[in-house]
Structure 1
Amino acid sequence: MQARLKIDEGLGHAAVDVISNLRKSDGQLSAREQKVADFVSANLERISAMTIAEVAKACDVSTPTVVRFCRTMGCDGFREFKIRLAQNLAVSLQYLDVGERPEPETSSGVLDQVIGALSASLNVMRKQLDGEVFETTKDHIASAGTVLVGGVGGGSSMLAQEASNRLFRLGVSAVAVSDSYLLQMRAATLSKSDVILLISSSGEADEIVSAAEIAAGYGAATLAITKSGSTLARSVDCALQIDLPEDPDIYKPTASRYAYLVIIDALAMAVAQMRSDHTTENLRRIRASLTAYHGRTGPQPLGD
């Protein structure tokens, strides 16, 4: 009984990762519940199509035992357990069955794989990018009073920060926001002279779509760099849309973020050229301030 209480407290009803809970439960269940756990672990993809009676019969236990097992896993009952398990499987199968693991690559082999994926993503992006949409996006940014750049999540947050980092050097008033609540508030402060640029590789994040709608409600131009045909793409005035395939190798970092960085750099360069007089003076001031700060006058990246 003590072991049972311990796992109940550890997992709780707030848990959503049923597969992880299954693994944590090993050795802590009653004999009958362990039979259910073993059957579920061996038949993860079958469970969603089975009734509670079928699972009980397959495990040679009663249906109340199956219900108790589901509650131990953090669910209210068998129906919720099936839903959560199906959700877990939708994103977890590629990690549960990785097949025969190859020998670790040499350093040069790893570099070749990453560079190859990068090149492939850039080639796909270049073919998909719409030149007219790019020009419209550039014009909006170049004439904006303020550019609010939004991105939520690991990759998108980094990309939003980099976009802001590129633009302020050119004399464009730009701020990056990755906090979902702050993004809604910032969007509400925009006006007709301002722009919101939203970055999302999925284009389905609720907080990003909501920020676009809020900004549009106050007259700001809404722009996006996002996935083709996504909710975000349909929600903004102008969307640079790309649909990049992801590598099936689960150990390889996503290469799509490089494509987004290239788009951001291209936009920054186009804006700089469009505002050349102002940009040149701004970059001169930045370099002068850094030289006064650290005393170095040798060659440095002009954009940095």
Structure 2
Amino acid sequence: MFTNEEIASFNELETSLYQYITKNMEKAAYMRIRELAEVTHVSTTTILRFCRKNGCEGFSEFKVKLKMHLENSETTIIKDSRHAVSEFFERTLSGNLDERIQKAVDIIHPADHVLFIGIGSSGILAEYGARYFSSLGTFSVYIKDPYYPIHTRMLEHSVTIALSVSGENRYTTAHIHQLKEKGSTVIAITNSKHSTIASMADLTIPYYVTEEMYEGANITTQIPVLYLLETTAREVYKKKQAHDV
């Protein structure tokens, strides 16, 4: 329904519109343009621009495209995981992902501590990330409890790596706010650069894959996150080795 290039071209308002439509496709397919504008808090002009970015001349054509997508997806609810992987790696070859990873390395390298936060499947990967970074010589911990007592002096020279697919989880945003207040630098690894978590972070590494839901569960692939965590940890290790020579 939406290509990588289309998603990457969206501004903040268009991204919020995209997120609403992907989560409410059946409803959006039968809405009037003013109804959609009202529930998404954007102007009709923004919706029309969004439609043009998706190859449609107007909102009516976009709804036809949306209905056709719904009809075709009835028998293909869950995509082959290889599609999501190729979608991500195509973007890494054409985007500035390596540059963002290097910026993250430059931030992490001098830090005394690295804290990982996240919830749900992102929490599982945050715990994995902490273990992986520690295995390569960067002391890291996964903090599940936002009220876990950490002395301010420890956070002044720390980096927080926040994981979230949507970038809108209230638990994670509250946790980021607390850590930033105490002096921690935040790196967000999330699916969109226009999310709340991305706007709070000092550096965001977006990976842009199509978000997938099945019976209320978010089944969006986490393979890009694994790649980013492992690649960043290895690059930090290399930089420390070069620095010690």
Normalised by the shorter chain, which TM-score bucket? 0.5 to 0.7
1:118–1:255 Cα contact (<8 Å) kept: no
Which of 165, 172, 181 is residue 131 of structure 2 equivalent to? 165
1:116 is aligned to 2:83: yes
Change (3 A) 1:99 1:199: closer
Q: Secondary structure at the match of 1:209?
A: helix
1:149 is aligned to 2:116: yes
Change (3 A) 1:204 1:129: farther
Change (3 A) 1:247 1:218: closer
**Counterpart mapping for 1:196-207 below 5 A:** 196-207=160-171
**Partner of 1:63 in structure 2?**
none
**Partner of 1:214 in structure 2?**
178
1:232 is aligned to 2:197: yes
Which of 159, 162, 165 is residue 195 of structure 1 equivalent to? 159
Aligned amino acid, residue 193 of structure 1: H
**Partner of 2:101 in structure 1?**
134
Q: Which runs of 5+ in 1 are unaligned?
A: 1-44, 46-96, 103-109, 280-304
1:176 is aligned to 2:138: no
User: What is the rounded CA distance, in whole Å, between the counterparts of 1:194 and 1:187 in structure 2?
Assistant: 11
Corresponding pairs, count: 175
For CA contacts below 8 A with separation 6 or more, give which structure has more relative contact order: 2
2:87–2:209 Cα contact (<8 Å) kept: no
- Give the TM-score normalised by structure 1: 0.49
Which of 211, 219, 236 is residue 271 of structure 1 equivalent to? 236
Change (3 A) 1:115 1:187: farther
Q: Secondary structure at the match of 2:188?
A: strand
User: What is the rounded CA distance, in whole Å, between the counterparts of 2:196 and 2:232 in structure 1?
Assistant: 23
Q: Secondary structure at the match of 2:222?
A: helix
1:236 Cα offset (Å): 1.2
Which of 258, 261, 286 is residue 223 of structure 2 equivalent to? 258
1:175 Cα offset (Å): 0.2
1:181 Cα offset (Å): 4.2
Give the fraction of aligned pairs with identical amino acids, expressed as a percent. 22
What is the CA deviation profile of residues 112-139 of structure 1, one whole-angstrom value per residue up to 9, with x for unaligned ones?
9333332223323554444333222112
1:187–1:196 Cα contact (<8 Å) kept: no
Structure with the greater alpha carbon radius of gyration: 1
